[in-house]
Amino acid sequence: MDRSNHHRVEPYLSTHSLLPENQETPIQFIKTDDTDNKLFYRRNHFSYPPLSYSNYWLPINGIVSTPILLSMQDILHLPSKTIQVVLECSGDKRNLFEPKVFGVQWGKGAISQGYWKGVPLRTLLELSGIREGAKEIVVEGYDFGERTDINKVFSYARSLPIEKAIHPDTIIAYEYNNQPIPFKHGYPLRLIVPQWYAMASVKWIKQIRVIDFNFTGPFQTIDYVYYPNKENNKDAFPVTTINVNSTIQKPLDMEILNTGKHLIKGIAWTGNGFITKLEISVDGGSTWLNAKLEPTKDFSYGWQSWSYEWTISKKGEYMIVSKATDSYGRIQPTIPFWNKKGYGYNAIDKIKVKVE
Amino acid sequence: MDRSNHHRVEPYLSTHSLLPENQETPIQFIKTDDTDNKLFYRRNHFSYPPLSYSNYWLPINGIVSTPILLSMQDILHLPSKTIQVVLECSGDKRNLFEPKVFGVQWGKGAISQGYWKGVPLRTLLELSGIREGAKEIVVEGYDFGERTDINKVFSYARSLPIEKAIHPDTIIAYEYNNQPIPFKHGYPLRLIVPQWYAMASVKWIKQIRVIDFNFTGPFQTIDYVYYPNKENNKDAFPVTTINVNSTIQKPLDMEILNTGKHLIKGIAWTGNGFITKLEISVDGGSTWLNAKLEPTKDFSYGWQSWSYEWTISKKGEYMIVSKATDSYGRIQPTIPFWNKKGYGYNAIDKIKVKVE
């Protein structure tokens, strides 16, 4: 009998819904360096936009000196940059909140990392010129649909304050990992806003508008807002910068292990500065040890891989906990910041294993 | 601009582990009638077995009158039958137990339904003849590997008591949904034991052995045993018949809905008889109403689809609960039967939705 054994095993995205398509990455299988398109989580508010690109033009208008219309060729000829960026959905880890919150029950896999190439938004704004009184830049996508809460059709659109819009690393991207951006992730052009949760990184850009007031679209003022109280909207504030966070990729939660050596590994990330420390506890948080941070090539907006070699000879149950600290001194909290819509979960990551 | 919009959206299996491959079905997308191979959950103890089928023979030996060796041609020429069967992993819904139990954290998707065609095991046993004193039939698969708990290599093997083995619907299957069985589901031959949890339905059959004692393989006496106590193995008993059960497929847990009409739908199944009633509560179990059971064609070992049209005008949070009853009078319990290895979860199914 032939002993060939070539039965391919591979992970897929885990599906929450198809219309709109919301699928997350099984985070234990993600590569350290960049997320393959096949495992790049998909987060949509609407069905995919009905457009083709035979005649794509990007308008920049509003409070500008000269409204302009750029072709893809125009954009491809401008000076570009490539940056490594973590995109994390602000609803990532929503299913860990207690009490539970309504909405898509994202686990730990609404996060990706990869290389985005494009033109700084700042460069485009310099081409059109910003007029006095300009306050925000609104980026609108081609995706649209009815909001069931207000029974009205909207495009997906978000604004950035001028200072974030003109940050040199806020780019209008046209490539992901050296390829044209995959359609489901925003082809042909996607705004990439490093350090902010990914609701800011508008896909399928339709237009860029400079405004002299505060944008009040529903994805700015109803969704993507922290509401700390269950019963009212008091003390609400907008979702912006990514919180310091970490995820244990290995072992799996509730896994059964043998005694001996085990590599505990994972990722850590932050929207402010970089990760300076990752602490591991194998006793549920009573005592902590430093994990090894993988060397990082350059300054980037990517995540930080880490590992800890655990030698365990005593059988029993263990709670493994990871806690990241960033260069701004932010530390993952023990208790998450509960908010009604379930954004920005970043409590210390916990799993349980049994050694037998 | 061309308004074409052909971006395929489709669900995939959700991955728990790759070595061995354990993946479950996103149960909300499963078809009513049969499970497409692409969405058929995969549950393995080991990596896929190293075999090809250029020269496949099935031995039947042990306490028999004549040990025989059957070719695939021999088997294909015997009288066959096709039966619709639910295969449910006994660990299905394990992640719902409280307190949590160790092991693969299956959600609600370790279940499938389809049409299996094959020869009754009884027919094959009649060919070899069972000798006096025979007690059990052991079916061994080609898959094998080290059990980390006892540091020894085992094949996956299970026994059936004679009376279950000779039930006319216990078959040695060679087709699934009118095709040769997909490799990952047991090609070329799989034992199909209707009404029992799927650990009994051994894949990649290597041999069938008639024994005159009680089989004590680890997948019979260590795994697939209910251990009702956390601290000891008292009162343990084997996992066999599928419990009466139901799953709500739609709406999703924690989904946000509008006021108006909503179809609540799902499946119900049992290893004893058939489903006679499916009750729905939209107030967390205080009051119950009968769901509509879809007409079933014939008697089968398939699941029962059901639906309930819910009209809701009052905004608020609702807990939707489903509760199945079978023809043996078994009813899904409110509290699951907790057991250390997390088998046979069948408490009433509960989801929460918010109407706004």
What does the pLDDT look like over B146-205, one tens digit per residue? 998 888 999 999 999 999 999 999 999 999 999 999 999 999 999 999 999 999 999 999
Residues of A in contact with B12 (CB under 8 A): 12-15, 23
Which residue is closest to A4 within chain B, CA to CA?
B50
User: In Å, how far is B336's CA from the nearest CA of chain A?
Assistant: 19
B215 and B200 Cβ atoms separated by less than 8 Å: no
Chain B's closest residue to A100, CA to CA, is: B254
Tokens of B279: 């009750």
Q: State how far residue B21 is from chain A, nearest Cα, in angstroms.
A: 7
Query: Which of A107-116, A238-247, B268-277, B298-307 has the lowest average pLDDT?
Result: B298-307
Whether residue B14 and residue A26 make contact (CB cut-off 8 A), yes or no, is: yes
Examine the pLDDT at A31 and tell me if it is beyond 80: no
Cβ neighbours around A31 below 10 Å, total: 11
Task: Find the CB nearest A15 among B12, B48, B317.
Answer: B12
Does the pLDDT value for residue A150 go beyond 90? Answer: no
A17 to chain B: which residues are within 8 Å by CB?
Answer: 252
With an 8 Å Cβ cutoff, are A102 and B26 in contact?
no
CA distance A283 to chain B (A): 17
Cβ distance of A51 and B1 shorter than 8 Å: yes
Q: Please, what is the average pLDDT of chain A? A: 95
Contact A254 B12 (CB under 8 A): no
The pLDDT of A329-356, averaged and rounded, is 97
pLDDT at A35 over 60: yes
Q: Do B354 and A102 touch (CB under 8 A)?
A: yes
Contact A14 B18 (CB under 8 A): no
Interface probe for B, chosen from A1, A105, A249 (most Cβ of B below 10 Å), is A1
Residue A120 has pLDDT above 50, yes or no: yes
B27-A353-A258 Cα angle (round to 5): 115
Contact B5 A252 (CB under 8 A): no
CB–CB contacts below 8 A, A to B: 113
Q: Which residues on chain A are in Cβ contact (under 8 Å) with B13?
A: 12
- Within 8 A of A254 by CB-CB distance, chain B residues are 100-103, 105
**Which of B15, B38, B51, B146 to mutate against chain A (most A CBs within 10 Å)?**
B15
Report chain A residues whose CB lies below 8 A from the CB of B14.
Answer: 12, 14-15, 26
Residue of chain A whose Cα is closest to the Cα of B53: A1
For B245-355, CATH gives 2.60.40.650
Q: Measured between CA atoms, how close is A22 to chain B, in angstroms?
A: 10
pLDDT of amino acid B6 = 62
Which residues of chain B are within 8 Å of residue A12 when distances are taken between CB atoms? 12-15, 23
Measured distance CA(B317)–CA(A102) in Å, rounded:
10
Q: Check CB contact under 8 Å for B16 and A252.
A: yes
ipTM beyond cut 0.85: yes
Cα dihedral across residues A248, A253, A256, A259: positive or negative: positive
Chain center to CA of B87 = 3
> Which residue ranges in chain B fall short of pLDDT 50?
1-4
Percent of chain A with pLDDT over 90: 91
B256 neighbourhood in chain A, CB within 8 Å: 102-103, 148
State the average pLDDT over residues A154-179.
97
Q: Give yes or no for residue A299 having a pLDDT over 80.
A: no
- At B53 the pLDDT is 67
CA A227 vs CA A177, A221, A235, A239, A244: distances in Å: 36, 11, 7, 10, 20
For residue A2, the model assigns a pLDDT of 36
What residues are paired with A42 via a beta bridge?
A23
pLDDT digits (tens, 9 = 90+) for A326-338: 999 999 999 999 9
Contact list, A356 vs chain B (CB under 8 Å): 149
**Closest-CA residue in chain A for B17?**
A11
Helix (H, G, I), strand (E, B) or coil at A185: helix
Strands A152-161 and A171-176, by their bridges, are: unpaired
Contacts B17 to A, Cβ<8 Å:
252
C-alpha closest to that of A64 among A186, A209, A162, A187: A209
> Confidence class of residue A149 from pLDDT cuts 50, 70 and 90?
confident
Portions of chain A given CATH number 3.90.420.10? 14-238
- Give the mean model confidence (pLDDT) for residues A169-193: 97
**Interface with A, mutate which of B249, B254, B318 (most A CBs under 10 A):** B254
Secondary structure of chain B in the HEC alphabet?
A: CCCCCCCCCCCCCEEEEECCEEEECCHHHCCCCCCCHHHCCECCCCCCCCCCCCCCEEEEEECECCCEEEEHHHHHCCCCEEEEEEEECCCCCHHHCCCCCCCCCCCCCCEEEEEEEEEEHHHHHHHHCECCCCCEEEEEEEEEEEECCCCEEEEEEEEEEHHHHCCCCCEEEEEECCEECCHHHCCCCEEECCCECHHHCCCCEEEEEEECCCCCCHHHHCCCEECCCCCCCCCCEECCECCCEEEEEECCCCEEECCEEEEEEEEEECCCCCEEEEEEECCCCCCCEECEECCCCCCCECCEEEEEEEEECCCEEEEEEEEEEECCCCECCCCCCCCCCCCCCCCCEEEEEEEC
Q: How distant is the Cα of B13 from the closest Cα of chain A, in angstroms?
A: 7
- Length of chain A in residues, anyone? 356
Chain B, nearest residue to A254 by Cα:
B102
Q: Are A255 and B102 a contacting pair at CB < 8 A?
A: yes
Tokens of A354: 């049994």
Smallest Cα distance from A56 to chain B, Å: 8
Q: Is the pLDDT of residue A63 over 70?
A: yes
User: What is the helix (H) or strand (E) element at residue A123, kind and residue range?
Assistant: helix A121-128
Identify all chain A residues contacting B16, using CB atoms and an 8 Å cutoff.
252
Rounded average pLDDT over A70-83: 97
The band of A3, judged by pLDDT with boundaries at 50, 70 and 90, is very low
Residues of chain A positioned with their CB less than 8 A from the CB of B9: 18-19, 21, 48
Chain B residues close to A21, C-beta within 8 Å: 9
Report pLDDT for B4.
Answer: 40
Nearest Cα to A191, choosing from A110, A147, A137, A129?
A: A137
Q: Which of B3, B4, B14 to mutate to test the interface with A (most CBs of A within 10 A)?
A: B14
Report the pLDDT averaged over residues A40-44: 97
Average pLDDT over residues A106-118: 97
Q: What is the pLDDT of residue A148?
A: 80
If residue A58 lies in a helix (H) or strand (E), which one and from where to where?
strand A57-62
Which residues belong to CATH 2.60.40.650 in chain A?
Answer: 245-355
- Alpha-carbon span A300 to A115, nearest angstrom: 10
Structure confidence at residue B335 (pLDDT): 97
Which among B21, B52, B100 is the nearest to A4, CB-wise?
B52
Among B19, B40, B46, B102, pick the best mutation site for testing chain A contact (most A Cβ within 10 A).
B102
The superfamily CATH assigns to domain B14-238 is Oxidoreductase, molybdopterin-binding domain (3.90.420.10)
B113-155 pLDDT, tens per residue? 999 999 999 999 999 999 999 999 999 999 999 998 888 999 9
Question: Which residue does chain B place closest to A42, by CA atoms?
Answer: B9
Q: Do A352 and B183 touch (CB under 8 A)?
A: no
